[in-house]
Amino acid sequence: MAKVENHFKSDGQFIYLESPYCEFYIPKYYFENNIFAEDYGSKIHCIGVFDVTFFGSNNEILEHRLLNLPTWIDIFVAESETRTVDLPNRGPESCLVIKYIKGEKIMDDSNIEDSANVERFSNFILSGKIPAAVPYLKSILLWLKNQKINSASLGVPSVILELVLASSYRWKENPAIKFAQVYGKEDQVSEFDYVMKRVREICQYTSTFTGLTYEDMNSMITSSLNRTRNHEQETYSPLEDLIKL
């Protein structure tokens, strides 16, 4: 499985908490329709990409990080609660908070290789669900790691996956603009100044013409009217010229 960090220890079969206390923050939207997480009471089956905070003996924060296991994992649950958590680079988020104290069993120290996990993680990305705590430049590494963990491949060059991600990541100030177009050009734009949009939703932000293909007509009309009112630039579509012929 993934490398065991200094906050964890392993006996070869299970991974245990080594720090005094930690909390796992699984977004509640992961559980919607059981798409990215399934709650079985004493165990949760979920995608292993969510925020984790480690605490010291005096309840001070030792470290906050993103659990970097982009595949389906099973975590044991001893104590949990639902609450809104103010996450770094993300803001308030309703989460299922899983609590562990030192020595408690967290998960198996192995994972089942399954090509279905690659398909499900791809759907995770295409649905625009990568947590906002993931730095923009690290998103492609998650996708590639998912394939490596499961000994499977989507059979396409990395550049194709990067193009999909580049389209999904939008600038939070104006979702009509790809985040890649502004990141690095201005000093004030960080790797976290983005919003992810699901692939089927992007068309409504590009132009009025492509917005006609979006299934939510109300959203399409609203975004098109706002684009016209604000005199925003339309993305050129050669298909529009063909239809006019």
Beginning with the edge strand found earlier in the chain, give each strand of the sheet holding 174-178 in spatial order. 174-178, 169-171, 194-196
Residue found by looking up tokens 């939510």 in the block:
216
* Model confidence pLDDT, tens digit, residues 172-215: 888 888 898 898 776 788 888 898 888 767 766 665 544 454 44
- Integer Cα distance of 143 and 148 in angstroms: 9
Q: Is 57 helix (H, G, I), strand (E, B) or coil?
A: coil
Q: Domain extents for the chain?
A: 8-108, 121-244
Residue 95, C-beta contacts closer than 8 angstroms, at least 6 positions apart: 25, 26, 27, 28, 50, 51, 82, 83, 84, 85, 87
* Model confidence pLDDT, tens digit, residues 68-108: 899 999 999 989 999 999 988 778 999 999 999 999 999 99
